[in-house]
Amino acid sequence: MTILLAPMEGLLDCVLRDILTRTGGIDRCVSEFIRVTGTLLPERAFLRIVPELSHGGFTPAGTPVRAQLLGSDAMCLAENAARLAEMGSHGIDLNFGCPAKIVNRHGGGAALLQEPETLHRIVSAVRRAVPRHVPVSAKMRLGYHDDSLAVACAQAMAAGGASELVVHARTRADAYRPPAYWERVNDVRLGVSIPVIANGEIWTPEDARRCRAASGCQMLMLGRGMVVDPGLALAIQRESAEGLLAPPGEPSLAWEKLLPLLGQFWSLVRARLTRKQQAGRLKQWLNFLRRRHVQAQTAYLSLRTVSDPLVITQWLQAQGVLLEQ
């Protein structure tokens, strides 16, 4: 049983990767995408997105991080992949799933799922550019307008040398609307000989169990579900190993155990982000947490109009949250 933490632009950055991997259950992270547009990026550009590269490519909890590249120029992606490999990334991941209009308009992300031959060319170039011991993986959706090319795209990537494939079980047209089509992930899995990881609409251990059954995948990638319930990965791992079921409807991590993580998160936000960004970053996570925690709803409403980091710090301390200095 392997669980990956998803790349989510503007949300699952190095700060939240740090916090969520402290809870346990995550075997590997994939970074937010690093956009490549015709140039070899300097090391500082990679370190800005993946600062873990300065520490052996691991989060402080010891979870390996694989850097993700986004672009459509095969040779340029290959050059940047080679540099990332030299910097110690735990593999190279390629983004063929981003649904953002601005990315797709420039021929990147999910737009490439209309061109299996281009996918093959990109993966092949990156595979040739990095040492054999460095894994090259990819993340895709089921398609762009529809899922008619899902298997063909996966086969093109596998033939190009991808060692692993994450499939978000929706098309670009589906965006993030439920349901996730886990059965179609099974079709992809049966069409290639490399490991396939299922992703999409996994919010609870029960969802994980149903996803594994429908997709045939034993490896999962968690995104929003892990942000909403930071104990989800560990709960899934425990259920898989020990058959321990969490009570239905209850979060996997109690609020009392989440509070210290909230304090650690705020301390990291204060240290890494500008003053103008800090309040919004905390409220962004609280907005996700309140889907499962009534206490997070109270916190969100209390801080919704607050922009002064000092006021937020005082409020957290009043709730008994210990803040790192």
Count other C-beta atoms under 10 Å from residue 306's C-beta. 15
Q: What distance in Å separates the CA atoms of residue 167 and residue 197, rounded to the nearest whole number?
A: 6
Q: What distance in Å separates the CA atoms of residue 85 and residue 98, rounded to the nearest whole number?
A: 23
Q: What residues are annotated to the active site?
A: 98
Q: What is the DSSP string of 30-81?
A: EEEEEE--SSPPPHHHHHHH-GGGGGTTB-TTS-BEEEEEE-S-HHHHHHHH
Give residue-wise pLDDT tens across range 223-233. Answer: 999 999 999 99
Mean per-residue pLDDT for 149-168?
Answer: 98
For residue 284, give both structure tokens: 């962004």
| Complete domains list, the chain, with CATH | 2-242 (3.20.20.70), 255-318 (1.20.225)
**Amino acid 153: pLDDT:** 98
pLDDT(247) > 80? no
pLDDT(245) > 70? no
Mean pLDDT of the chain: 95
Give residue-wise pLDDT tens across range 42-60. Answer: 999 999 999 999 999 999 9
Tell whether pTM > 0.75: yes
CA-based radius of gyration for the chain: 20
